[in-house]
Amino acid sequence: MSDLIVATKIPGAAVYGVEQMSYTVDGVSGKDYMAALSAASFKEAVAIEQALSAYSEVVRQRMRKLEDLGDVMAVLNTAYATLKTKDMESDDKTSGLSELQTARNTAAKYGITLTLTDGNKMTRRNLMNAQNTVQYATDREDNDLKQDMVSLNSYISKRDNSYSTATKLVKKGLHAAEGTIGNIG
């Protein structure tokens, strides 16, 4: 058992040859086995709840990043639409979109470099490279988000299971106490 629950033998107390134990639960002595298990289950549920809130923040940050990268990709696609020729080999430049500077700053926040030339323009080659880079980062982040969501669901299931176990143990203890009181009368 952990430091949360410390079992000590009750001197001279044995039932059918089995030594009886007293449990100290979270610093409170004189508890029975059911109280010890209930306390442990509730403590586990609370610990999982705390980890869950931290993990939820990670998921929110990933979702924010995906949204930002989607905005950058939308600006890049708009810039691509402003190219004058359809010749893939030309070094045509986009029109000077003010949104490209904002997209550049947003991309830089995530370690992606968008190369702008004279003002807010990009060459076709730089634009295509930027689109590929942003798409790769978006795909990678999306995959990581999916894995995080599976882990988050697992944490939620563990937390719910711990609360359920603790509740069942408390109900069993109450039922046993009611039965004992009923037998006395």
Q: Which helix (H) or strand (E) holds 23?
A: strand 18-25
| Domain membership flag for residue 121 | yes
Q: What mean pLDDT, rounded, does the chain reach? A: 81
Rg (CA), the chain: 31
Res 65: pLDDT: 95
Q: Could you please report the per-residue DSSP string of 134-178?
A: HHHHHHHHHHHHHHHHHHHHHHHHHHHHHHHHHHHHHHHHHHHHH
| Domain membership flag for residue 90 | yes
| Domain membership flag for residue 108 | yes
pLDDT digits (tens, 9 = 90+) for 76-125: 999 888 888 776 666 778 777 788 889 999 999 999 998 888 778 888 88
pLDDT digits (tens, 9 = 90+) for 55-89: 888 899 999 999 999 999 999 999 888 888 776 66
Answer yes or no: is pLDDT of 152 > 60: yes
| Domain membership flag for residue 1 | no
Answer yes or no: is pLDDT of 26 > 70: no
161 pLDDT tier (thresholds 50, 70, 90): confident
- The model's pTM is 0.66
| Domain membership flag for residue 50 | yes
pLDDT digits (tens, 9 = 90+) for 34-50: 777 777 777 788 888 88
| Domain membership flag for residue 114 | yes
- How far is residue 15 from each of residues 19, 79, 126, 184, measured CA to CA in Å? 7, 83, 82, 20
> What is the residue range of 163's domain?
46-167
How many domains would you assign to the chain? 1
| Domain membership flag for residue 130 | yes
| Domain membership flag for residue 180 | no
Direct distance between the N- and C-terminal alpha carbons of the chain, in angstroms, rounded to an integer: 37
